[in-house]
Chain A
Amino acid sequence: MSKGSKHKDKKFGMVIDLDKCTGCGACMVACMSENNVPFKENESNKLDSITWMRVYKLENGKSFPDADICFLPRPCMHCEGDHGHAPCVSVCPAIATDYDHKTGIVSQIYTRCFGCRYCMAACPYHARYFNWWDPVWPEGMEKLLNPNVSPRMRGVVEKCSFCHHRYQLALDKAYADGRDKIEEDEYQTACTQACPANAIIFGDLDNKKHAVYSLKKNPNTFRLLERLGTNPKVYYHSSREWVRRAGDNYLKHETTKA
């Protein structure tokens, strides 16, 4: 933790409006394209299908015609836990993942990871994925690789980074222009930028000028498995009570905070 740093620490996070999310999957493709996520011929086994951003389909469990569905995009929650003790960070024996107090981003360093997968077991959100195979890009498609993200090898874990490299690029631009700070729109994740419904809002949760600051305070806003104490930095918004209830394991008599 950098107590001596001159600048106020940031806490990047998201507010995802589930009323607007249409489940189209654009965020998933934007993420895979941005982050050199590999693809196989058969991706129907979702346990080994790497999707840093995955859109889940929730069902309300009622019968026709009262059935309802809702789509829920799930990036890495970048849990703060208690003072940066994210579930995955605490269990990593290799310090291959850490919590950055300056940005609130949980890293994953592929070259450091040796594939024990403790972090996967510890993550309650299934946000981490294991590379069971070496990635293969068919001839010609390696041209698509983004130089700002290093491709992973077999035997390591990977996950959403909140497009940290975009933060670095934004800083580079700022430094080159003689600035120290970046504006809200200079650092946005690939999924946020791609969402055709503008359902994903990204920014510094602690910065009053950023949209997420006030959005996260809406009474219809909730976080996933909030009561586990993981302190995630991804907030969801839904006007539907059953969706908010689906965010945690509520008993029948319990009510959500809203």
Chain B
Amino acid sequence: MEERTIENRKRKGLPKTVYALKDGSVYTRLSFPIMGFGQIARGQIVKGILYMLTELFFVLYMLFFGGSYIAHLFSGNLGTTLSGERWNEDLQIFEKIKGDNSFLILLYGVVSVVVTLAFVWVWLMNVKGSYENDLRRLKGENIATFKDDVRLLVNERFYAPLLILPFIGLLVFTVMPLVFMVLIAFTNYNYAHMPPGKLFDWVGFANFKTLFSLSGGTSGFAFVFLRVLLWTFIWAFFATFTNYFLGLAIAMIINKKGIKLKVLWRTLFVLAIAIPQFVTLLLMQKILDSDGILNKILGTNILWLTDSRHLSILPRVMIILVNIWIGVPYTLLMCSGILLNIPTDFYEAARIDGANAVKIFFYITLPYMLHITTPYLITQFVGNINNFNVIWLLTGGGPVDNVYYGGGTQAQSTDLLVTWLYRLTTDRNPKYNVASVIGIVIFVISAVLSLITFNRTSAARNEGAFQ
């Protein structure tokens, strides 16, 4: 009888918390304000004490630190008082006053909101857990002991202990900074508004308007943005697929039956990985310099990396070539590892059916490779959209091209969105707000791209295909 009503309640679809308040025992209701009460009352001492400590910590945090920042964050402005000295009429002295700092208000505000959300999540667990105990008592079942909880964590819920630490790291070093920087896009934080000297404030979508409105003419932000965007895509496409297919080709050649000295050949390429990327890039930049060794050997005077004629086509091609030099060893290593993992019975079966080498490649090798490496290709493509080092160390984003990229946008002709972003934040006149909008654009592009491809690939749909 009791059980049926429980089932009926669930069907109505209200959150469990509501029932916990409505139908829960006194203990459960008390655990709304006092976390852990329901657990301790039912004998789950350790769990209960942990909940109580969490609540204590949260209250103290809010009282002494987070509370004021959250209040500031939601007050509608990011601080009004500048720090400085103020004349105190009563004491007849100049008083030092600690003013607001928009930057810290925003940063610690975000931190405090995240802490609050985490607390709410724990609080919900506490209430639900207590209500769960009530239901178990009604059904005449035993309340889970601490030992039972631990057993659950190493069996059905083994994912929880596995995921908790990596996710805390993620929260602190990725999620919080990102939320913060996304919020910057809606402020006027730039060289003219640098706290604590000058405060910044919310400006709504004004920065988005600056970047996307065509009113600036063909050298204004909107056109420059489109040019940079187009080049970012061209670069990412070529950088990803040249590396992948060249790496696969070389790996297949080395793996071919009858080729001797496999280790030697592989080592020749892998050696390139040993040199840190930034060293290689600085070295290549010097080799390709107008006075560099390549021009000396060829007896020419070609501006490999700085020729801005024909839309800087030469520097662009050189960047992609240098990237092949850097990237192919990695794909070569990865591909040769996976090639060896292809079950040999696939090949035997194909050979018995009379398939030739080309057919075997297109019907077995390539599908298998793509099945395993599609996620890798997606990450590589997105990685190349964000490939800072290659561009920054080879050309620095240059050459400067005032015809197509001028107008105070601080962009240059081989800039990717991400190097443009970097220049906007590290320039002598930083524009954090515009940089942040560009960051959001990069994110939207990559997010849309990879969510579509990722969910359509066989790797995601059909994880067990080759098991």
Asked if A and B are interacting partners, one says: no
Q: Which residues of chain A have a CB within 8 Å of any CB of chain B? A: none
